[in-house]
Amino acid sequence: MTTYDLALIGFGGVNRSLAELIASRGEALRAELGFGLRVVAITDLRLGSLMDANGIDLSMALALGGDSGSGGDTFARYGGSAEPDNEAVIRGCTADIICEATFTNPDDGEPAVSHVRWALESGKNVCTTNKGPVALRGRELAALAARQGVRFEFEGAVMSGTPVIRLARQMFSGLKLNGFEGIMNGTSNYVLGRMEAGLDLGEAVREAQELGYAEANPAADLEGFDVQLKVLILANELLGGNLQLKDVQREGISAVTPEDIRVAASAGRRWKLIGSARRTPDGGIEAGVAPRAIDLVHSLAGISGATNAVSFETDLLGPVTVSGPGAGRIETAYALLSDIIAIHQAAEGRGAAGSVQAAAEDGGLARV
């Protein structure tokens, strides 16, 4: 039976959760999926890096760092290095698949873009949960993957492990996808819901921060930067666009007032931060993110709290909506697992329809 060797780049919450999944249910996954998983390299800013072509002891690695970590220990103590050495590890390790879950600078997508590029250049498959490489360098990286004959998968870049990109690619064959609109940021959706319950913006944001939804600087969530990247990804990947970040208009929720919310409620409406894109009659794509007061019967009106959703506008079915978690360590680790399954299916000659590479080559999904 096939075993895939993995390198985990970034050993924070997401890749830790993936390692826990492999450690706790690797055998069950092997029985269900028909392949095994083994981790042969890990790099992390705090822990350094470790390579072992025979497989790293995951219980050792998971005991390092994290909340239950053993002091200042690094991988140096286990034959590795106290420095992350990302490029050397990505290029030099024996992994079949690089699981990239570091961080991403929204301006240039680094360091994740370089991680992905190094992996593809050295002939390794990549799955990433980072929006940056896909949103800002998606076309270039997909073309590189195609030239190298490897896969570039990124389901976790939008709505964590909730199937969105792969769902649209595989479940809508024969349909024409005319556009989409979605609630793709849980923090801003939570804040708007709490404002509807009577809090003002500042109170709602503080509550979201206390619950761990919002970061210390919540601008990426509240001002629509996060959703802007996700809209860019979906517009390019699912509608065949070639948009740049500047082509996605952006407006956040900070100007929405309690009065706006009261007025909307009295008219049977509810404010939501909607990211959307649609084909225009001239063959282009119009994309943006902005707060909108939508009717309570709108397919996104009932998406509450930190839940995310995307509603696809199809010609034969009308709107089809998928909702689920938009974040979370385990939820995002599952996205990586779903990417690994897709890489396996491609290796077996399955799942080629609607593949990332095919889509990249023809400028997005061919549509009727």
The first and second tokens of residue 103, run together, are: 């961080």
Residue-wise DSSP of 252-264? -STT--HHHHHHH
The distance from CA 333 to its chain's CA centroid, rounded to whole angstroms, is 10
| Catalytic sites, residue numbers | 230
Find out whether 68 and 34 touch, Cβ atoms under 8 Å: no
CB 50 within 8 A of CB 78: yes
In the complex, the smallest distance separating the C-beta of residue 309 from its own copies, rounded to whole angstroms, is: 8
Residue 311 pairs with which residues in a beta bridge?
181, 321
Output b/e per residue, 8-37; b: 16+ Cβ within 10 A: bbbbbebbbbbbbbbeeeeeebeeebebeb
Judged by beta carbon, residue 254 or residue 299, the one nearer its own copies is 299
Q: How far is the CB of 316 from its own copies (least distance, A)?
A: 4
Write down the least CB distance from residue 181 to its own copies, Å: 14
CB nearer to its own copies: pick between 28 and 63 = 28
Distance CA(125)–CA(122), nearest Å, equals 9
Contact footprint for its own copies (CB under 8 A): 21, 25, 28-29, 31-33, 160-163, 166-167, 170-175, 296-297, 299, 301-305, 307, 309, 316-325, 330-331, 333-334, 337-338, 341, 345, 349-353, 366-368
Nearer to its own copies, 72 or 268 (CB): 268
What is the distance between the alpha carbons of residues 239 and 246, in angstroms, rounded to a whole number?
17
37: three-class secondary structure by DSSP: strand
| Residue 55: CB minimum distance to its own copies, A | 20
- Rounded CA-CA distance 336/331 in Å is 9
DSSP type of residue 148: H
Is 20 or 110 the residue whose CB approaches its own copies more closely? 20
Whichever of 163 and 275 has its CB closer to its own copies, that residue is 163
